[in-house]
Amino acid sequence: MNPLPSHPQGDGNMPAGASGSTAGAGNLPTFSPLYQQIKALLTQSLQSGEWKPGELIPSEVELAARFKVSQGTVRKAIDELAAENLVMRRQGKGTFVSTHHEERAHFRFLRLMPDAGVPHHPDNRILDVARRSAPAEVAQLLDLKAGDAVIYIRRLMLFDGAPTILEELWLPGAIFKGLTAERLDQYKGPMYGLFESEFGTRMIRASEKIRAVGADASAAELLGVAAATPLLFAERVSFTYGDKAVELRRGLYLTAHHHYQNDLS
Amino acid sequence: MNPLPSHPQGDGNMPAGASGSTAGAGNLPTFSPLYQQIKALLTQSLQSGEWKPGELIPSEVELAARFKVSQGTVRKAIDELAAENLVMRRQGKGTFVSTHHEERAHFRFLRLMPDAGVPHHPDNRILDVARRSAPAEVAQLLDLKAGDAVIYIRRLMLFDGAPTILEELWLPGAIFKGLTAERLDQYKGPMYGLFESEFGTRMIRASEKIRAVGADASAAELLGVAAATPLLFAERVSFTYGDKAVELRRGLYLTAHHHYQNDLS
DNA sequence: TAGTGGTCTAGACCACTAT
DNA sequence: TAGTGGTCTAGACCACTAA
């Protein structure tokens, strides 16, 4: 069956043209190019878990047959997904669902780099895991209702043994049910990898606001610096498919021997 | 004349295929797809000033005829240039060379946003303009020799009347000959616009390293805060075509009512 | 109405990977 | 050798803009 709601194509001999198809007869009058509709369908399959992180998705020819469009149209849809880092193309092998269990993904969201030397993976020390009800401000940023259950995590990250990042995380309780300190302690690697594997929630985009602040007594002690030491403060909201917020993260970065790297273009 | 060094195409009836053409007979054995070669040629025309910022470039069909390739190949080349913000496509009108004289370009490189309200253009107050010889560190970042002539600029930027950014700039003297305090004072709008219009040097990419620091006496006074107030410190190196460094900028940002906005993907 | 970029198709061949 | 993504062509029609 054709999963596309009536796009103007007949026997396959007549080009469809760029006519943005309408959604059925008398339905929503949404117009969009065919490849965008294909892209949306592919995204749905990613979101639903039909194709899981790290897995191979069907080939372009197979998808073209399934959707009854040309390979070029499927290709353009996948091109955009690849540009958004949702999938990865590998010539000769196929197209794979992106995963946070890859070296290259690790440092795309960890922007703190050493001033000298090569980037290392930090050691994590979980300080706190607790189930709480969301404060108003947290609830608003996570698109929850104030008082909804959230999981609160506090951790210290050490680079080469030196405490460098102090982070607080708030996660929607409904999604991350059963996340305990033990599981966090056992887990090696980036937290987004755990979220993806254990909770089926893959972070795909984030928005950060960065400021400079002075260390309070608690942060100063944990980071091993004097009180009022200037720290970089980053507030991050992460989103999964459908622009759904799934994490609020507030980090204090010690930038004595590290810097936040950003490339503008 | 065919500006492409012998790509394997005959009478125009035989598809060229994806064979990366060699550069002439017995020349550099560099292989690259046709569209990448076209892209390089287009970039040359941008760099040389054949098409100036804001201007319309030739249409896809005209370029296809000029280079003796199909329109689809030209299209793919231009697609990449558009993705890199070197050109802007406008349906029905044509493809235009990007320019810093556009609203949308202003805030792509000015990442400091007000915590509340809409972004405003800052007022600039030039504090200092001087011709100097490049310190070793500056020379290294700008890919100059230590002692080479550089232009040093110091300025204060005010948002809604409040001093918020204190910046130092180092520019290669050879490129920005004749840049005076008067011209900087007279000029309204982003400095990159002036660089582009008056000096034919267009910034297209930048790399920033960000830290938190405490305000020294001088910065504190100019920004109207107490000494040791935490400030965000951003060191930026800007590049023009060919990854040539053309600016070193060091800014201190007061983040009491503003934040550095960054989107990760 | 003419010209531009935007979409879509169909078919060819290439480069790479695995069997 | 078969299958995958990558490149290239040729031609059609659509959406938008301006004269």
- A–B CB contacts, 8 A cutoff, strictly below: 98
Distance between CA atoms of B82 and B89, rounded to whole angstroms? 7
* Closest B-chain CA to A76: B76
What's the residue count for chain B? 265
A75 vs A73: CA distance, rounded Å? 5
Q: Given pLDDT bands bounded at 50, 70 and 90, which one contains residue A31?
A: confident
Our measurement of CA B73 to C1' D7, in angstroms, reads: 9
Closest to B212 (Cα-Cα) out of A231, A134, A108: A231
In tens, the pLDDT along B190-229 reads 999 999 999 999 999 999 999 999 999 999 999 999 999 9
CA distance A1 to chain B (A): 32
Outline where DSSP puts E strands in chain B.
87-90, 94-97, 112-114, 123-133, 149-159, 162-172, 205-214, 230-240, 244-253, 258-264
Beta-carbon contacts of B254 under 8 Å, excluding residues fewer than 6 positions away, are B163, B164, B165, B223, B225, B229, B231
State whether B211 and A111 contact (CB < 8 Å). Answer: no
Which pLDDT score is estimated for B101?
95
Flag whether residue A218 sits within 8 Å of chain B, measured between CB atoms: no
The answer to whether A18 CB is within 7 Å of strand D is: yes
Pick the CATH number of B1-98 from 3.40.30.10, 1.10.10.10, 1.20.140.10, 1.20.210.10: 1.10.10.10
Asked whether residue A73's C-beta has any atom of DNA/RNA strand C within 7 A, the reply is yes
Domain ranges of chain B: 1-98, 105-260
**B140 token code pair:** 């290294």
Q: What percent of chain B has pLDDT over 70?
A: 89
Question: In Å, how far are A122, A155, A184, A231 from A125, measured between CA atoms?
Answer: 10, 6, 9, 19
* Residue B68 beta carbon within 7 A of nucleic strand C: no
DSSP 3-state assignment of B62? helix
Minimal Cα distance from A113: which residue of B? B209
Distance in angstroms: CA A5, C1' D7: 31
Tell me the CATH architecture of domain B105-260: 3-Layer(aba) Sandwich (3.40)
CA distance A71 to chain B (A): 15
Q: Which residues of B touch A212 (CB under 8 A)?
A: 212-213, 230-233, 253, 255
Which pLDDT value is given to residue B9? 36
Does the pLDDT at position B14 exceed 90? Answer: no
Mean pLDDT of B13-17: 37
The answer on pLDDT for B236 being more than 60 is: yes
Give tens-digit pLDDT for A55-98. 999 999 999 999 999 999 999 999 999 999 999 999 999 999 99
Q: How far is the CA of B104 from the C1' of C4 (A)?
A: 23
Taking the CA of residue A115 and the nearest CA in chain B, the distance in Å comes to 9
Cα–Cα dist A181/A183, whole Å: 6
> Residue B16's pLDDT band (boundaries 50, 70, 90)?
very low
β-sheet bridge partners, residue A264: B206
For A111-260, CATH gives 3.40.1410.10
> Are A109 and B261 within 8 A, CB to CB?
no
Q: For A212-263, how does the pLDDT look when each residue is reduced to its tens digit (9 = 90+)?
A: 999 999 999 999 999 999 999 999 999 999 999 999 999 999 999 999 999 9
Which positions of chain C lie under 7 Å from any protein Cβ?
3-18
Determine the average pLDDT of the residues in A100-117: 94
* Per-residue confidence (pLDDT) for residue B30, from 0 to 100: 52
Task: With CB atoms and an 8 Å threshold, state whether A207 touches B263.
Answer: yes
**Residue B243: DSSP 8-state:** G
* Nearest alpha carbon to residue A231 among A212, A218, A216: A212
Overall average pLDDT of the A36-63 stretch: 98
Cα distance between residue B112 and residue B102, in whole Å? 18
Q: How far is A23 from chain B (nearest CA, A)?
A: 24
In this prediction the pTM is 0.90
Q: Which residue has the higher pLDDT, B22 or A259?
A: A259
Q: Residue A189: what pLDDT? A: 87
B119-155 pLDDT, tens per residue? 999 999 999 999 999 999 999 999 999 999 999 999 9
Check CB contact of B261 with chain A, cutoff 8 Å.
yes
Q: Quick one: pLDDT at residue B179? A: 95
pLDDT at B7 over 50: no
**Residue A3's pLDDT is what?**
39
Mean pLDDT, range B10-18, rounded to an integer: 35
For residues A249 and A236, the answer to whether their CB atoms sit within 8 Å is: yes
List chain A residues with CB under 8 Å of B70. Answer: none
B242 CB neighbours strand D below 7 A: no
pLDDT at A27 over 70: no
Beta partners for residue B244, in sequence order: B240
